[in-house]
Each structure stands twice: as C-alpha cells, then as structure tokens.
Amino acid sequence: MTEQPKFQRRKRRGTVSAVEQPKRPVSKPAVPTITELQAQIAEKEALLQRTAELEAEREHAAEQASQEARRKKSASDAKLKEQRHAKMAELEAQRVRDAAAKAELERQARAAKPKTPLVLASAPALQPKPAPILDPEASWKSIDRFELDAQRLADRNVITALRQDPSHTRFDILRTRMLQALSENGWKRIAITSPTKDCGKTFTAANLAISLSRQENCRTVLLDLDMRSPSLHKIFGVSDTGAIGDMLRGDIAPEAHLQGFAPNTISAGSHVALGFNGIVEPYAAELLQDPSTQAVFEDIEKQFNPTVMLFDLPPALLNDDVIAMRPHIDALLIVAAGGSTKANDIKETERRLGEKIPLLGVILNKAENADVGDYPY
C-alpha cells in the first residue's frame, strides 16, 4: 500500500470524527409552574406588607417624638410664665415697700418742719428776660437786591448816578446839610412832598437816596408812600415791587419787602433799602393812620437801625395823606417847581403840616437859568 501524506490522513480522520460524533440535544428554559408563581407572589406580598408595617412603625415613633417635644416645650413655657409672674410679684412688692418708705420719709419731714412758716422780708425781685440781640447787618444782608442800570437812571434824570451833570453836586450838598441837621436834632424820619403834582419830589428822593448811599456809615431807607400814584419803581426799573400796603398792615415782614442795590459800577452803596409799591392803595390816608403803620416803622428802625428814613409822599394839597403822616415824621422837605409852584402853595403846605413839623428846606426844581454856583433850594 502506497503511504499517504500525513496531512491527508489527518484530513480524513477529522472528517470521519465530525461525521461520527453524535449531536447533543439543545436545552430549553424551564417554565415555572402555577404553584411556583403563586409562591413568588405570596412572597412579594409578604415583603410589601412588612415594608408597610415598618413605615407605620416609623411614623408612629415620629409622632410620639413630636408629642414628647411639644409636652416638654409646654412645660418649659409654663415654667417661664410662672417665673415671670413671680418676678412681677416681687417688683410690685418692692414698689409697695418703696412707696411706704417714701411716705414715711415725707411724714418725718413734715414732723421736723417748724410750726411757724418762714416769711421773707420781701419777695424776690423778678429778673427781666434779656432782650433779643438784633444784628442790623444781618437784616441788611437778608434783603433782596436788584441790578442798577446807570444809563436808565440817567435817562430818567437821576443825575447822581453817572454824575455827568454838574447839578449832581447840589444833591451832595443837600445830603450833607440834611445829615448834619439830623445829627444835631436827633431826627431820623424825613418826609419829601410837594404842593402839587409834577414838581419832582420822587426825582428828588431817588437822587438823594443814591447820594446818601455813597456816604460812609450812612444807612438809608426810602419808602414810596405815594400810594395813590406810585412811581419810584419806574425810575429804578424794578418790576417785582409787591405792595407796600401789605407791609404797612403787617402782612409782609419789612425784610421780605425791602430791596437794595446789587453790586454796581456807579459806586452806589449797599446800605440803601427801598420800599417800592406797584399797587394803588385807595385808602392810603386811613392806612397811614392805622397803628400797624407806626409799628412797622418802629420795626424797621429796630432791625435796620437806619441813619435816615425818607418818605416819598404824595402832593400835600391834593389829599390828606401828608396830614395823616404827620405823627410819623421828624422833619419836612418841600419840592417846588420853578415857574409853576406859587409861594402861597408852599405856605399852605406848611400850614397843613403844622408848626410842630420842622421844615428842613424848600428845594427849587426845574429852575431856569440856574448855574452850578446857585443853590435853588
């Protein structure tokens, strides 16, 4: 027999063994029986029942713990309440003891007092309250101030503003003579009036106020009391004037109504206070005679301590306003218009004011052919 190669023999053997090896049966999963399923279900139900019992036990334990905590807290609160009551009772007892001790001390003090009371030889003198200290400078600083338009003043014949008209020196002379007369006689309140209309009394008052403002240590108050025909505010170009009647009635404080010069280029000083008026007062004479007017004048003197108070009054022969002002003034200036004012008008003006009102002088305004060397007043 011819010998076969080894790999062929192995091949044949492997083929035979593969053919001859018997096949193993494939195992199928076992299907549980009904009995086994019922047993599993019973086991799960028992487990769930146990779980529920454990949960109930935990809830019961928690409820008992909560009740115990509430009981302890209630007991603690009751104890604290009892302690507070005890403390309050102790304080009340102490208060009663203190009151009793105080009453006993008062009884002993009364028993120790002498039977006859002591009598002073004279009653102690009452010390007067010190008067409030008024600072005039504070009042001057508190008033409102308005701008001065030098050209406007010059256009309205306020010759003391720019001082270009040589006649301004006449107002400086009038200022100096007037201040000397006030100092010598102890006067302060000066009325400026005229016999009739259009004599220039307001023009005189405005020029005199600016001239006085340049006098060192001179404090001037100028009030527009021509309440039937006010015009001082028009000369100075002030529109926010208010009503001077309200100030005289006491409805407005003087420091709230009066106005002063703002810093300017014409060297007009800051110690001039002007009381403008923009509302016609039909009962001017009645208001000037009212006690409130005198009280306001005194208040101005206390607060501002003016050196001079100028009152621009209406014409003396037109109504009784100047006569009503007679108790409030110390001296009088009469402004006459050259060529129109008659000597009898000036005499009648003096007569109406009475002999008790000193006449500082008669100022001749609108005089023709008067040079600087003449003094038409």
| CA-wise closest residue to 271 among 312, 322, 218 | 218
Q: pLDDT value at position 170?
A: 93
The structure's pTM equals 0.64
Tokens (6 digits) for 130: 């010190």
User: CB-side exposure of 79: number of CA atoms within 13 Å?
Assistant: 6
**226 CB-near residues (< 8 Å, 6+ apart):** 201, 202, 232, 277, 312, 313, 314, 321
DSSP annotation of 125: P
Tokens 């009152």 found at: 311
Given a contact cutoff of 8 angstroms between Cβ atoms, the answer to whether 262 and 146 are in contact is yes
pLDDT, tens only, 6-47 = 555 555 555 444 445 555 655 556 667 888 888 888 888 888
Contact assessment for residue 328 and residue 294, using Cβ atoms and an 8 Å cutoff: yes
pLDDT in tens, 215-226: 989 999 999 999
Residues of the chain with pLDDT under 70: 1-31, 113-126, 129-133, 368-377
* Residue showing tokens 């709230």: 256
CA distance 162 to 16: 151
Alpha helices for 21-158 (secondary structure H): 34-112, 136-142, 150-155
Per-residue tokens: 250 = 């006491």
Contact between 313 and 226 (Cβ < 8 Å): yes
